[in-house]
Amino acid sequence: MPLTTVHEAKTQRLEILDPEGRVDAALEPKAPKEKLLELYKKMTEIRVFDERALKLQRQGRLGTYPQIIGQEATQIVPACCLEPKDWLVPTYRGQGAYFARGMQLRYSLLYWGGDDRGVKFPAENNDLIFAIPVGSHMTQAAGLAWAEKLKKTNAVALCWLGDGASSKGDFHEALTFAGVHKLPLIMLIENNQWAISLPRAQQCAAETLAQKAWGYGAHGIQVDGNDPLAVYRAVSEAVARGRKGEGPSVVECLTYRMGHHTTADDASRYRTAAEVDGWKAKDPLARYTKYLKAKGLLDDAAIAATLKDAEAMVADEVKAYEAFPKPSPLDMFANNYDKAPWMLVEQRAELAEVLKEKASRNEIAEVPPAEGRFP
């Protein structure tokens, strides 16, 4: 018997805007003007925020912070392709996604400022708090999509993950479930080329991460993740497939982590400035601005006004963050169970007594690495 080909797949890359902002008209999504401008505004706002948050951390006014600079398109655009009923399942590098869905930035600051109150989603949204253990949210996203399918709500689940997270067993298990049950799940890989110090090439020997999709009966596509239009188109199509009952999709977005892994990291230890500079030329916001200008939707005055408004909004958010009253130590006993069991009642009372006696004498050791705090 001759060998026969039983499976063949081809993985495509979608690019619509080139780095100069020139558009491939055949692929240009037909989004209304308001939508296009909304994306621009939010990308600008989150960039301003990100730069401000970095400064706050450097000034000791914020804890470890994971920057998203350079990933504005993959943060903002996918979130704007959803309806509130859809599940938003971001990672810890997800301030942009939450913001795009309406969470005030003060809460992101609170969280990274070490305050458990730093989570407050708009009531009508299906937003999930992110997981710090990388990738542990992916099978949960499959479960969310599954529930929506069972409830026949026509809602989808959009799960962000990094190139690093795609190596976790959870990725395999999430897509296995999603494929078998034809779940409305979108796995959006923000391939920013690095997982802390590990480059993409050492993360996985496959040529693309998108092609993993085919192994699970999912649809896979690679996208220029610094091209807001390509991200918009690919995610919208994946959402539509989900709503039509056509099963899960993998959207691999090629982007770049312009900053350190977090404020605790020093990326110069493992990557070259030349590499970073190369990606500067592909900046998603600059490219999108050129496109909107060429389209006649933006002019210099509008650009300046958007930036000014963004700065004022971010300043207000920082003010609101710093005006939050300090959390009470006794608060940590709330929300551990539906009803606090006896030992928590006793322990809370004990802490109240301790606090009356003396302020905590625990000292925080700002351990290592010299350049910052933590990954």
Partner 1 sequence: MAQKNLLQGINDGLRQAMEKDPKVLVLGEDVGLNGGVFRVTEGLQKAFGAERVVDTPLAELGIVGASVGLSLAGMRPVCEIQFDGFLPAVMDQVICHMGRMRNRSQGRNSLPMVLRAPHGGLIHAPEHHSESPEAYFTHTPGIKVVIPSTPEDAKGLIIAAINDPDPVVYFEPKRLYRTVKGEVPDAYYETPIGKARIARAGTDLTLISWGAMVHTCLKAAEELETDGVSVEILDLRTLTPLDWDAISASVEKTGRALIAHEAPNTGSWAAEISALIHERLHYKLKGPVQRVGAWDIRQPLFQLEKYYIPDAHRVVRGVKKALNRQPV
Ligand X SMILES: Cc1ncc(C[n+]2csc(CCOP(=O)(O)OP(=O)(O)O)c2C)c(N)n1
3-state secondary structure of 182: coil
| By the rule CB under 5 A, 72 interacts with Mg ion | no
Nearest to 190 by CA among 222, 213, 220, 217: 222
Q: Burial of 222 by CB count in 10 Å (0-12 exposed, 13-18 middle, 19+ buried)?
A: buried
Pick from ligand X, partner 1, Mg ion, none: which does 233 bind, CB < 5 to 8 A by kind? none
CB atoms within 10 A of CB 313: 16
Where in 158-187 is the site for Mg ion (CB under 5 A)? 162-163
| By the rule CB under 5 A, 265 interacts with Mg ion | no
Site string for partner 1, 95-134 (x = CB under 8 A): ----------------xxxxxx-x-------------xxx
Q: Which stretch in 3-11, 17-25, 142-150, 356-364 sits in contact with partner 1 by CB under 8 A? A: 356-364
Q: How close are the terminal C-alpha atoms of the chain, in Å? A: 55
The residue among 132 and 150 lying less far from partner 1, judged by its C-beta, is 132
Q: Distance between alpha carbon 208 and the CA centroid of its chain, in Å?
A: 20
CB atoms within 10 A of CB 218: 25
| By the rule CB under 5 A, 192 interacts with Mg ion | yes
Instruction: Tell me which of 45, 86, 163, 265 binds ligand X, using CB under 6 A.
Output: 163
Pick from Mg ion, partner 1, ligand X, none: which does 93 bind, CB < 5 to 8 A by kind? ligand X
| By the rule CB under 8 A, 12 interacts with partner 1 | no
The residue among 95 and 306 lying less far from ligand X, judged by its C-beta, is 95
Q: Left (φ > 0), alpha (ψ -120 to 50) or beta: where does 256 sit?
A: beta
Where in 278-317 is the site for partner 1 (CB under 8 A)? none
Q: Which stretch in 115-123, 141-149, 188-196, 268-276 sits in contact with ligand X by CB under 6 A? A: 188-196
**Helix and strand totals (H; E) in the chain:** 12, 9
The crossing angle, in degrees rounded to 10, of helices 33-58 and 284-294 is 150
Where does this chain bind Mg ion (CB under 5 A)? 162-163, 192, 195
